[in-house]
Structure formats: structure tokens, C-alpha cells
Structure 1
């Protein structure tokens, strides 16, 4: 019998909940984030920042946080703007990659006890889904603060207007996390998106990937902002394009920090083929695969953690912590 993988619970005493209002944010955004310290007696090796995607929360990294703290890392995991207990600003500019990168850097600086403008200690960066997109941009905008980066790879208002109330939100999340209708009709798919007419809570089964307690936690967190905030991430293409033009103009289009890409072979949303040319855009890239769907963080937690831990072993032993911006 396989050894159960350690994971956080929604009320886990190993994490502390914090909030921080970003001093430099024009939106006055207050972030909620988790901090988990290494177990007593474990030599400290630095800081790790983990970034979640959609439809997820900081809690989505529950299988990875204990593994990383066991490697001596202090782990910081925020809820992104629009998600969970972080603010959901009305201005779409608050959800751009560059804005969020700068916000997250401010959070790390705060956690490390650095004043605004002071250099941070270099840190490990991980992302999944939208968090992966943010992580790669982070590596382009601020490579000097990173020890390494690893990643696992609905426009309009109809969804946010149709999916209102805890039970409907919970049903949507169940469907996106693998729950099925009793008549087997597909509520959500990559090709057709979300079928709002099929979101009938009484007909959608539980997710096979989360316990009932975990699913209830997600529903309770999502009901705080509804679906509007999370869906803002799908409406920022023009803002991101305009903000990232300087990167192209300056030729800063290559990730130069050590990088790991873990590809899920059964991910319909982000198939492995999408990473085929990453070697041309990353100067120090390691690729690994896991036999999983989009939710590799949970579905193949042991294999995913193994790839991340092996990648980090050399980084944590041999790389200096001094940052340069």
C-alpha cells in the first residue's frame, strides 16, 4: 500500500494566515496569504513563493507545502486578486501580470522583513495554470531576485451573472475538479467552456480529487467574491500586451534563471505540446512529465513533488541568496 502523501488541511496549524496591503499598489489591494515555516530542527534554506491558478486558491498547493518546508523553505502562498480572501478590485489593471508580479514581490519583501526598496533575499518561485503564466513573467521582469522557477502547466459576463450563490458555485467547482452529472452530460470542457444551463447542483456529483471538507472550503472561499474576480484574469490581454511591449523592445524575452517545467500528459487545457519550443526561450531548462490531468498538483502529488524536490536539491545547496535587481 502506498504511503499517504502529507497535505495541509483547511485549518492546518502548520500555516499562518496573513494579510498585507501593497504600499505601491494604485488599487490599494490587500492580499491574503499563507506562510508555512520549516519543521523545528530543519535547517533553513530560504523562501519559496507559490502562485495558484483558476479555479484555485492558495490551498491548491496543499500537497506541496509540507514537502517544501521539509526541504527547509519558508513557503509563502497568496490568494491572487479576485480569489479567496484577497481583494477583487473593479479595475482590470489590478489583474495584469506586471501588476501582480510587483505585488507579489512586495509580499516577499514584507515577509522577509525588508523595507520598501530594499533588496530581497533570492527566492524559489513556483506556478500552476495562471500562476505559471505569472511565474514566467516574473522571471522576465525580475530575474535577479529568483533562485529558480518551476511551473505546471471565460471572457464576458454571462458566467458571473449565471453562477450566483454558494450551491451553484460549489457545483461549478465540483464539475471543474472532475465531478460528473448523473446523466453524464459534460458541464465543463476545454472546447465548449462552461455550460451554465447544466449547472444544477442536485445533479452534479462530488469531485474525485477533493474531500467533501476540502470542497466545502473552496465553495466558502469563492462565495466571498463570486465568479467576477477570478474571471477578470481572462480579460486582461490588451493590458498585458501594452505592459509587456518594453520586454520585447529591450530583447528581454528569454528566461535565464534555472527552470523546471512539469508537463501533465493528460492536460486538455495545457497539453505538453504547448511547451515544445520552451528550450528556445529558457537558457537552463529541465522538463519532466507526470501522468495526470490539469490537476497534477493533487492527482499525482507524489510524482510531482519528487520532480520539484529533485530539481530544488542542487539549487538550495549551491546557489547564493543575494539578490540583484
Structure 2
């Protein structure tokens, strides 16, 4: 029997094995391929306010659950979550979808994947848009010289511990995880109770919480390859009230990303796409232009 609620969704659900992992994604629209990459602790649903608008602009919009998240596979151990594996997942997904290249929009850990995808597989990207995810060179610079960034990144050190971070995030029905979306800096109403329930349920799937935290653990244990200049037209959208990532991360990027445009939104937090979807959607459609144009 069909599910009426699923029929009402403005996207369809798909899955396939790519790069030796089964990935789940949602898809909407027709036209040039656009891939949306979520961050921690979200899943494809983090783009719920962008998918319809970008599909209406004439794009085939695909938003996957990255490996370890929600309905995608959750390989055991830390090594499967190193940056190269996640980058290869996205490159393989683009090929699986029948495209040579795609526009890529990404946030947080998805943004880290996208920065590296542009460096490691530049042939797979047309244009790139990043939301509140630091360029690797900028983050390395600021974590060394900026005490504010060092303090803001405390949680990444905590996540290196075995088992304890999982227990803390799971405690009291995932109270800490749910609180991430209701921090003081977050615009009221950006996340509904249903939104937070979905994030809680995705994190509660067997193996998901450890897999999500293994992104942080793998980043320390398995350093990525050397950085390269990113030639693609790139848009960086930055919520200035981000409590985990300082504004200095948006400065001095031109030597590494020479074709860069930066849009800072002073009143937005880390969750800029959920807080100010109309503004973000307008920036994205303006940057990518009319499909086929």
C-alpha cells in the first residue's frame, strides 16, 4: 500500500551502492545535476527548504545521506570515514547519476567534503557553493593562531574520546543533540519540533551516532592529502553568529580559491539555510543562474 505522506513529499527517495557503500538520497526536479551535501548532525533533510526552490529553478537536485548517516550504510571503524572515502562517495554518486560533473552545494562536514572534492576531483564540479564550512587551509591557520577558534572547537577534542561522546549525546533522549538546534544564537522558529524529532530519530539508528562522530575522529587520525588551488566559481555563504566557526575563517581565502564570492549574513548562525531559506535560496539561484543558461 502506498504511503499518502510520502506521496505528498516534493521529492522521491532512491538508493544504490556506490564506492562500495549503499547511499540513500532524495531527488527532485529535472535539468543539470545539483548535489547538496549536509553536515553534522543533520542528514539530507537539512536541505528541506532548498530542494523545492532549486528544483523549481530548473535543476535535478539530489541530496544524499552521507555515509554513516540516516539511511545510508554505516561502515564499522574510524578509517572508513576519512575524507578521501567521503570524497570518493560523492564523485561516484555523480557518475552513478549519469553525469560527468555537477553543481555542488554543501554545509558543515558536507562543506569539508565539497572543498576536498573540488581539489581531488575537480573534473566532477561545475560551480561550488559552501555554507559555514571552513576551507581546510583557513581552519588550520585559525586553529593555530586564533584563541577564539581554539576555544570554539573544544567539542572536536571531546569527540575524540571513545564511547563517552556517544553516551553524552544519547543521554536524556538525545537532549544534547536536540539542543544543538535550539542554541541561543539560533533564530527562533528555524527548527520545528518535527524537524528536531527527525534529527533525533536519524541519530538513534543503530550505529549512526558513532559513525557521525567518526568524521571528527578520522580527521585527526587520517590527515587529508595536500591542498590544491580551487579554480571553480565558488560562493561562500556565512552565518556570522556561528558559535563553532569564527568569522576570521572567511578571510584571506583568495590564494586558495581565486574565483570566490563571499556573502556574510550577520544575523544568521551556523544553521543559515534553515534560518534564512529565502535569502539563501536567492543567493544560490542567482549564483548558479538559470539552468542551462
Which band: TM-score by shorter chain?
0.7 to 0.9
Residue of structure 2 in register with 1:199 after alignment: none
Q: Counterpart of 2:155?
A: none
Match of 2:111 in 1: 132
**Which residue of the partner structure matches residue 194 of structure 2?**
213
1:310 aligned partner:
286
In 2, are the aligned partners of 1:53 and 1:129 still within 8 Å (CA)?
A: yes
> How far off its partner does 1:173 sit?
2.8
- Is residue 84 of structure 2 the alignment partner of residue 81 of structure 1? no
Q: 2:74–2:208: 8 Å Cα contact kept in structure 1?
A: no
- 3-state SS of 2:70 partner: coil
1:177 is matched with which residue? 181
Q: 1:52 aligns with which of 6, 29, 38?
A: 38
Moved over 6 A (4+): none
Q: Does 1:141 align with 2:120?
A: yes
Q: Please identify which structure carries the higher helix content.
A: 2
User: What is the CA distance between 1:271 and its match in structure 2?
Assistant: 2.4
Which residue in the other structure is 1:36 paired with? 28
Cα distance, 1:163 vs. partner? Answer: 3.7
Aligned to 2:274: 298
Out of 1, 12, 16, which is 2:12 matched to? 16
Q: Deviations over 1:24-81 (max 9, x none)?
A: 43xxx2111111124xxxxx3x000111011111100111111110111111111112
Partner of 1:195: none
Secondary structure of the 2:100 match is coil
3-state SS of paired residue (1:278): coil
1:17 Cα deviation after fit:
1.2
Q: CA RMSD in A?
A: 2.2
Q: Does 1:161 align with 2:147?
A: no
Do 1:177 and 1:208's aligned partners in 2 also have CA atoms closer than 8 Å? no
Q: Is the 8 A contact 2:170 2:176 kept in 1?
A: no
Whether the 8 Å contact between 1:15 and 1:34 is mirrored in structure 2 is: yes
CA deviation vs aligned residue, 1:176-199 (integer Å, no higher than 9, x gap) = 00157xxxxxxxx9xxxxxxxxxx
> How far apart are the structure 1 equivalents of 2:8 and 2:105?
21
Higher mean displacement: 288-297 or 85-94: 85-94
- Residue 133 (structure 1) shift: 0.7
Q: Does 1:231 align with 2:210?
A: no
**1:70-129 CA distances to partner (integer Å, 9 max, x unpaired)?**
1111111111122111121113222122111111121222222xxxxxxx3321001100
Of structures 1 and 2, the one with the larger relative CO (CA 8 A, separation 6+) is 2
Q: Find the aligned partners of 1:11 and 1:56 in 2 and give their Cα distance.
A: 23
Cα 1:17–1:292 change in 2 (3 A) is same
Alpha-carbon shift at residue 145 of structure 1 (Å): 1.9
Gaps in structure 1 of 5+ consecutive residues: 1-8, 39-43, 113-119, 181-188, 190-206, 319-325
Query: Which ranges in structure 2 are unaligned for 5 or more consecutive residues?
Result: 133-158
Deviation at 1:239, TM superposition (A): 4.9
What is the match of residue 76 of structure 2? Answer: 90
CA distance in 2, matches of 1:280, 1:304: 25
TM-score for the superposition, normalised by structure 1: 0.73
Distance 1:178 1:96 in 2: 29
Check whether the contact 2:94–2:124 (CA below 8 A) recurs between aligned residues: no
Alpha-carbon displacement from aligned partner over 1:8-30 (angstroms, at most 9, x marks no partner): x98753211112122x43xxx21
TM-score w.r.t. the length of structure 2 is: 0.81
For residues 127 and 267 of structure 1, what CA distance do their matches in structure 2 show? 16
